[in-house]
Structure 1
Amino acid sequence: MAAASDTEPVTTETTPQPSKRRRKKSLVWEHFTIEAVAGGCTRACCKLCKQTFAYSSGSKIAGTSHLKRHIALGSCPKIKNQEKKMLALTSGSKADETFGEPPPKRRYRMSGFANAAFDQDVSCVYLAKMIIVHDYPLHMVEHPAFISFVQSLQPRFKMADFNAIEAEILAIYQKEKQSLMQVFGTMPGRVSLTIGLWTTSQTLGYVCLTGQFIDSDWRLHRRMLNFMMVSSPHSENALSEAIGVSLSDWSMKSKLFTITLDNNCSSHDIYSANLRDHLSNKNTLMLKGQLFVVRCYAHILNVVAQDVIASIHGIIYNIRESVKFIKASPAREENFAEIALQLEIPSTKTLSLDVTTQWNTTYLMLVAALEYKQAFTVLETCDDNYNEAPSTEDWKKVEIVCTYLKLLYDSANVIMATADPTSNIFFHEAWKIQLELTNATLNEDVLVSSFAKEMHEKFDKYWKDCSLVLAIAVVMDPRFKLKLVEFSFSKIYGADAGRYAKVVNDSIHELYLEYVAQPLPLTPAYEEQGEATGNNINGNENGNDNNRPANLVSNGDGLLDFDLYLSEMAVNQPTKSELEQYLEESLVPRIQEFDILNWWKLNNLKYPTLSKMARDVLAIPMSMVSTGSSIFASGTGSRVLDEYRSSLRPETVEALFCAKDWLQYLPTMAEPPSTAIVKMEL
């Protein structure tokens, strides 16, 4: 019996070959060994506390989940003792002596081990960044439930109080601001600003300033610069002072190019005049300030759309109530669907309610309801509880309104579909709307012309204020240049088109001369290869080779005098400017994937002065809506700061808003350090 008993462990050691393979795959075997016991069974023995756990019984394997829990959850008394020792260590110290053995090559994804790195300061930084990025209240660090949750994850973390987390947020703001100041210090061109207004429940308000520019690698950037409290944010003096403070704060007094405002139409002239007068003494305004103040394109779309919607607000109310009535019960929806089926209405649109603060949803509600107008009329005759059906005249008004809302809706979607909208794309949208509304005002139908006149009055104000900057921007697009300006103006102005096109042409040349007067740092690389390679970028041969003296090389053919003659002819012949060459060259083919910034990057050597002008013009923010945001929800007035943010110190509010904007561009926010450990472990 003894002999048989002695041989049994040998059998169990040799049979579980899968255990050896499993030992190679699972990290648990770095802390356990397999021991054979009587009856053909094996048990897993903890190397630290020597406790044993069931592992296999004959051919049945128990698995390793319970073994992992023993280690990962700290059930092992040896690990518990080690954790107590770790509490006495400073953060960031090495913890690889946990088990008195060499550290394992890999770690568990579960971070409950004593050998997991923990740094109190780093954790505080990430807590502050979480509050910034997700707009959490700072006081959440004092919420008992949140404290308990964090303690369950890491008992050693000492939760910061309100003052500590506020200080951490301010420190993050200062650090990121210094980094951004270095970026602005290397900015090759000028910066254009956008101005947003925020109000509070108190008499105070905030001015939000954002800068947009194109860097040396021809990439478009938009960064928030300041979010400062002012006593009267709607006054022009407050705006001027805020801009002056911001430019001084960021050392950009001489780099301001344009300012885009989101203000009501009636006050635009006041803002423009005041800002020009106040800032012209501190900055050299290009083109005598004609481009200095720009109005937000998204804002004018919202103003026009909401005004025309307001003009039929009674009809829209009836339609909204009608949709509510139908959607109040499945029986009504089914009844309405049967009516639509009997009337053979081909529409596949679904009735939907709008969000009153987003005019695009109102437009979509009207478009869907319009296709079911007959069904609403029939429903009113067969259901005594429904009496909200619009009249035939009402539906005609809705149809006209939807026709022109579609212009604005499609234009807004084009802008939002562009990841980084440069200024050149806005001319296309604006001139088409201007043309359609201008023609509609002459329509013989009184209803059509009346709606069009109301919309055109507002949009025409925008067009007159911004058509010049819009046109100059599209001239910087090598696919269109002045040709599109001349074509569109002929449609809009008819016989007077030449006069308006000349204004654009003269302004382009005057602006170019101002850039020519500025110092242009030419490098030997340009003198040696810029002219030669520039002509090959687009396959053109109308280069500037005559602008520099030729290197006379005697070739022994007896034509040295001829070479001298050609050289003299080149010197005496007037050369064309970069702008003239650019405008005379053939248009670049229109392709959907065209990258205008990359085109100017490739042609930078060919047009060193004109490219400087293009860099500044293309960076003008024609819309204040940031990438990824909705134009329809941008509103037509000031945004309101909530009660909690209004109660914070102004410097804390600025740190929260600015740091949130800056942190979104940092790769570390998308992939924190802990993620790297998980990747290695997988």
Structure 2
Amino acid sequence: MSMTGGNDTEPVKTETTPPTSRRGRKKSSVWEHFTIEEVSGGCTRACCKLCKQTFAYSSGSKIAGTSHLKRHIALGSCPKIKFQNKLALAKVDGDTLDPPKRRYRSSGFSSVFDQDQSYVNLAKMIIVHEYPHDMVEHPAFVAFVHSLQPLFRMVDVNTIEGEVLSLYQKEKQNLIQVFGTMPGRISLTIGLWTTSQTLGYICLCGQFIDSEWKLHRRMLNFMMVSSPHSENALSEAISVSLSDWNMKSRLFTITLDNTCSSHDIYSANLRDHLSNKNMLMLKGQLFVVRCYANILNVIAEDVIASIHGIIYNIRESIKFVKASPAREEKFAEIALQLEILSTKALSLDVTTQWNTTYLMLVAALEYKQAFNFLETCDDNYNEAPTADDWKKVDVVCTYLKLLYDSANVVMAAADLTANIFFHEAWKTQAELTNATLSEDTMVSSIAKEMHEKFDKYWKDCSLVLALAVVMDPRFKMKLVEFSFSKIYGADSARYVKLVDDSVHELYLEYVEQPLPQTLAYVDQGEANHANGDDKNVPTTSMPAADGLQDFDMYLSELAVNQSSKSEIDQYLEESLMPRIQEFDILNWWKLNYLKYPTLSKMARDILAIPVSMVDTGCSIFSSGTGSRVLDEYRSSLRPETVEALFCAKDWLQYLPTMAEPPLAAVVNMET
């Protein structure tokens, strides 16, 4: 018997109690939940006492029965019963409710409706998917939610904004507790945002390695400032952020994403302003780092801009070929006649992503003869580049490939620890340096343009990159010596000594100025003691009765000589680890913490330096250069709301509940 939620016939305002059975049995327990309403035509309907929904019961002498009424109660179809969890399945006067024919099982899902939790979930949805707050007032959205859950009371704009701020504060307190157990220092990245107005924002993220040797990056603040490009604004924002997160004494480095011309100004002012408030390691030589992804983008975009006229012709040529299937077929026939066996397909680029422009040029190069031939046989086409143009594109692609491959290696890394960047940077520096010496004037002119900018980056950041690769037990100082010989030639010894001196000087600073112990370090110290590695604990030995007193003296002298050698020297003198692709550098330091207790602290901070501001798994090519622009909607919000939206979105992605939908594998049906 099908159920209906209403009837076109107006009901008669008459209520009766259901009749008892002819055999004198007591009435079914279902009538505790229903009453009988008479309607015109001699028909009656059963009305649910709780939700007021009506169902067919009798039509003349034909009675529909009560099975469908029992299912309404037993299956929880009644909103009042379903969401208030008041279903009563007890036997009443010897009669029981019929069991449902289908049972629904859910995983991790409660049938009890929770208004407050629904508000939290709505706030999370708005934060994570960047929906506007006023969507809670959109009639279509309100109707949709009501169709899913009639009991949900939709909130207004002010209330949902309050939920967003509350969620932000809760997650912030959780993150503060995480930072409270952070064993090392923190490094910051600083991104600049502008608005359509005169105001702007500074985005600060912190990167660190926790006590389990896991790398983390979290957004700390998204602060509005009147002049985001001012060095005073940067230093003030950093100071406020460090105070806000109780990390004034833990700042290690900052990484900037800005243009080459302003970098020196930023570096000098930030060092001067913050050195009075924070103890900078190695006299501030490592303090300001430049974003590797940013320098790749700046150089690539500048080189592409230098041949913009040629690229315009290539774009127009591809558009011409793809304008119709007939032209594409004709072009394919020409390529076949010329025996061009390319596997690359012609495609237009996305002008804001230089990697797509590079791929467009590489494919077009393989069809250059076809484009030239097409111009001779089609009067409508006259955009083919000249022979000199194609040669210039070839040279540009050769060196764009260098940047493209480097970017892809970085993006493929599971963890963006600082050690991986030295390999890419030194190879790029060496290639560009050699290319500037080319006898081909076209090659040398393009290479000089690229080398000028990358050489500035190399001079600013090569020390940071070198220190990071020294902390890689597969390379240590050996790769620095090898790579510097390729770059500096006979003068390399001087640069190698600079890195070696810096490594030892930084190590001594860690020996003399250790961070205050955190809970994680206390636990590890106790573990050291438990494993007999506490050198301060006096030891006793059994008297030698085997006539080897001289041997004992030898061992004692050997121990003194070994203990006089520092951890850093022991580490550098040991053999290199095998260069396996699956090598986990963070796990290696975790396993060797007891062997190098001080050096491992230094390695933890150095490896956590964010050499690139692009997160793991994100595209370097679309990161852009310079400031990013806040959209009109978010520009209109209060600054504290904007900060809550940006920070909470970043934090929520790391929660286990956000990893996969909580209702995945919700319903299984059994018959």
Q: Decide: shared fold, TM above 0.5.
A: yes
Q: Is the 8 A contact 2:76 2:87 kept in 1?
A: no
Q: Partner of 1:9 in structure 2?
A: none
Q: Where does residue 350 of structure 1 map in the other structure?
A: 345
Match of 2:447 in 1: 452
Tell me how far 1:108 sits from its aligned partner.
Answer: 2.6
Match of 2:38 in 1: none
Identity of aligned residues (%): 76
Query: Cα gap change, 1:368/1:572 in structure 2, threshold over 3 Å: closer, same or farther?
Result: closer
2:587 counterpart residue number = 598
Q: Tell me, in whole angstroms, the C-alpha distance in 1 between the residues paired with 2:569 and 2:532.
A: 18
Match of 2:332 among 330, 337, 355: 337
Q: Which moved more, 1:139-148 or 1:666-675?
A: 666-675
Q: State TM-score, norm by structure 2.
A: 0.84
Task: Give the number of the structure whose residues are more often helix, by fraction.
Answer: 1
Residue 652 of structure 1 is aligned with which of 633, 641, 647? 641
TM superposition shift of 1:333: 0.4
Do 2:188 and 2:610's aligned partners in 1 also have CA atoms closer than 8 Å? yes
Superposed CA RMSD in Å reads: 3.1
Instruction: Give the 3-state SS of the residue equivalent to 2:239 in structure 1.
Output: helix
The 3-state SS of whatever aligns with 2:623 is coil
How much has 1:141 moved relative to structure 2?
0.7
- Tell me which residue corresponds to 2:656: 667
Q: Distance in 2 between matches of 1:577 and 1:327?
A: 67
Deviations 1:526-556 (A, max 9, x none): 2563659xxxxxxxxxxxx9x9976421242
- Which of residues 396, 399, 417 in structure 2 aligns to 1:422? 417
Aligned partners of 2:560 and 2:549: how far apart in 1?
17
The amino acid that maps onto 1:201 is S
- 2:609 alignment partner in structure 1: 620
Q: What do residues 114-146 of structure 1 show as CA deviations (whole Å, max 9, x unaligned)?
A: x93111111111111011111111111111111
> Is the 8 Å Cα contact of residues 105 and 669 (structure 2) preserved in structure 1?
no
> For 2:309, which of 310, 314, 329 is the aligned residue?
314
Report the equivalent of 2:21: none
Asked whether the equivalents of residues 209 and 224 of structure 1 are also in contact (C-alpha less than 8 Å), the reply is yes
Query: Any conservation in 1 of the 2:468–2:607 contact (CA below 8 Å)?
Result: yes
Deviation by residue 1:42-95 (Cα, 9 ceiling, x = unmatched): xxxx9x999899xxxxxxxxxxxxx9xx97xx99676899847559xxx7x533
Would you say 1:206 and 2:201 are equivalent positions?
Answer: yes
Q: Which has the higher contact order (CA 8 A, sep 6+)?
A: 2
Q: Shift of the alpha carbon at 1:567?
A: 2.8
What's the secondary structure of 1:523's corresponding residue?
A: helix
Summarize the alignment of residues 130-279 of structure 1 with structure 2, pairs less than 5 Å apart.
Answer: 130-279=125-274
Distance in 1 (alpha carbons) for counterparts of 2:661 and 2:466: 45
Q: Which amino acid aligns with 2:192?
A: L
Cα distance in 2 for residues equivalent to 1:77 and 1:192: 60
What's the offset of the Cα at 1:369?
A: 0.2
Structure 2 partner of 1:439: 434
2:104 maps to: 108
> Structure 2 residue aligned with 1:492, among 481, 487, 503?
487
Q: 1:236 to 1:52 in 2, by over 3 A?
A: same
Alpha-carbon distance in structure 1 between the residues aligned to 2:196 and 2:123: 26
Report deviation, 1:557.
Answer: 1.4
Amino acid of the residue matched to residue 94 of structure 1?
N
Please say which of residues 98-107 and 123-132 is displaced more in the overlay: 98-107
Rounded to whole Å, the distance in 1 between the matches of 2:532 and 2:351 is 56
1:576 alignment counterpart: 565
CA–CA distance in 2 between the matches of 1:81 and 1:566? 80
Contact 1:96-1:102 within 8 A present in 2 as well = no
Alignment-derived partner of residue 35 in structure 2: none
CA distance in 2, matches of 1:181, 1:480: 36
Equivalent-residue separation in structure 2 for 1:679 and 1:470 (angstroms): 54
Q: Secondary structure at the match of 1:423?
A: coil
Stretch of structure 1 that moved more, 601-610 or 671-680? 671-680
Q: 2:85 aligns with which of 94, 99, 117?
A: 94
One-letter amino acid of the counterpart of residue 599, structure 2: L
- d(CA) in 1 for partners of 2:526 and 2:226? 53
Shift of 1:673: 4.9
Give the match's secondary structure for 2:243.
Answer: helix
The 1:565–1:372 alpha-carbon spacing in structure 2 relative to 1, beyond 3 Å, is closer
Q: After superposition, where does 1:74-93 map in structure 2 within 5 Å?
A: 83=78, 85=80, 93=84
TM-superposed CA distance for 1:575, in Å, is 1.7
Q: Which letter maps to 1:295? A: R
Query: Number of matched residues?
Result: 601
Q: CA deviation at 1:562?
A: 5.2
1:37 is matched with none
What is aligned with 2:511?
A: 516
**Equivalence for 1:607:** 596
User: Residue 223 of structure 2 contacts residue 639 of structure 2 at CA under 8 Å; is this kept in 1?
Assistant: yes
Structure 2, gaps ≥5 residues long: 1-29, 31-45, 49-53, 59-64
The residue type paired with residue 423 of structure 1 is A
Amino acid at match of 1:108: Y
What is the CA-CA distance between 1:634 and the residue it aligns to?
0.6
Indicate the residue corresponding to 1:14 in structure 2: none
1:401 aligned residue: 396
Q: Judging changes above 3 Å, is the alpha-carbon distance between structure 1 residues 389 and 513 closer, same or farther for their aligned structure 2 residues?
A: same
Change (3 A) 1:341 1:294: same
C-alpha separation in 2, matches of 1:279 and 1:147: 50
Q: What SS does the aligned partner of 1:201 have?
A: coil
- Preserved CA contact (<8 Å) 1:82 1:98: no
